Amino acid sequence: METNKIRMIELLSLRQEPDHYRMELCVTASEERNRFVLDIDEHTFHQLSAAVPRTGERVRLSLYPKWDAFGKRFNSSLTKVNRDTSLHFPFTCTKCYVKQLESAMREEALSVQEEHRASVSTTPNAGQKQSSEKVHFRLLGKRFRYIAARLAVFTIILCLASITMNRELFEDYSDPLSHRVIAASSNETLTEPSPAPWTFGPGIVQAASWSGWNEKPLVESMRSAKQDEEKIQPAEPEKKLSYEVVQLPADKLQYSLPKGYVALTFDDGPSVYTEQIVDILKENDVAATFLFIGKNAKRKQEAAAYASEQGMVVGNHSWSHSDLSQAESEKALIELKRTNELLEEITGDPTTIFRPPYGAVSNELKAQVKQLGMKTLMWNRDPEDWSVKSAADIVKYFHQTNPSGGIYVLHEKKITAEALPEIIDYLKKKKLKFAVFE
């Protein structure tokens, strides 16, 4: 199944030449990185020049410039990333710039697809490799295993009830020997041991032979069995949540989903809005993946536990939300381990998902994540809910982008919680299947 590719665009340089203006970009699709040089218009060049920081940090461009109908212009932003923080700088741009950006993204996607086809056609076991790289879906997550356990307990109760009813068909409670057996089963002390009159096989009750056998009337036994059967009412099955669990690949970053699927993920919690967001998801019979910051989880342990108890997936988003790709190896490993230990103590489950702050990764960080038994979850849809002014702006983004195959990165904000019911309703109307990760 073809998946949508994420594009991360880094701005490498801006140049003013005698007759035109140029920008150099690094475009990342999946794990492929290629450089592009684009000619841009004068307005966008000067806007970028004013917004770009002069201190040498990495600069990432927003993937989705937005049309401002009131101002009759396109708005975009760039993000300056350093070791501990990220700063966002807005700028205005033209339709020409937007088309150039889309062209670079499209060319990058086509080049990745061509390289993939070439590798498939030249590799003897390409079919097996391609098959092994598909996203594996598990239809039964924690919620469904819980339902299965309840059904198993109910089945055992029915079996015991069946045994009890069959026993009543043969047992004579007026017989003194029978009373002695019942007393023994109730831990009452007998004056002298007596052999049990029953032997139990799987689902079968047999009577031992001895003198003085008295059978209860069959009609009375059938009436007793019917009364017992009426007392046992099957438990109402728990409502099945409309989501699937996606097994993340261990050896590559997960940026997107197959067409027909969508995932909501929430970064930077837990917060005062965690329980509200979880309740909205539950009311709509869907689930999401929450990437918690360790120091926040330490302060909001009840909120973190609540998310896990309600069937949400909880993952690691570092301890301090610093750029671990630029951190010293020992510091990065300490942050990962410390967060894992706290989340596992709170939820009772192993932490298997990691999302790098700012989406910044390095080969060393990927190796450390894999060493700890975790998998890396990225994203390909960003409504930038940390910068917009209203819930309507967030909802508008969902309507302006194709949600199929999207992994949306959201944050635990008041306006995000306000927009969430309308977002879920829109995605359901698109007939998309919600996904969570493990």
Phi-psi region of 101 (alpha: psi -120 to 50; beta: other; left: phi over 0): alpha
Catalytic residue among 41, 46, 267, 268: 267
Dihedral over Cα of 411, 415, 420, 423: its sign: negative
Q: Which amino acid is residue 288, in one-letter code? A: A
Longest dimension (CA), the chain: 117
Nearest Cα neighbor of 436 from 299, 307, 294, 283 is 307
Tokens 């150039």 -> residue: 100
DSSP assignment of 139-177 = S--HHHHHHHHHHHHHHHHHHHHHHHHHHHHH--TTSHH
Tokens 């990225």 -> residue: 378
What CA–CA distance (Å, rounded) separates 408 from 267? 10
Other C-beta atoms lying within 10 Å of the C-beta of residue 13: 11
Is 19 marked active-site?
no
Catalytic residue among 317, 382, 411, 425: 411
Is 411 marked active-site?
yes
What CA–CA distance (Å, rounded) separates 316 from 94? 38
C-alpha 223: how far from chain center: 52
Give the bridge partners for 76, in sequence order: 91
Give kind and range of the element (H or E) at residue 306.
helix 301-309
Report residue 27 as tokens: 């475009």
Nearest Cα neighbor of 280 from 144, 393, 398, 417 is 417
Catalytic residues: 267, 411
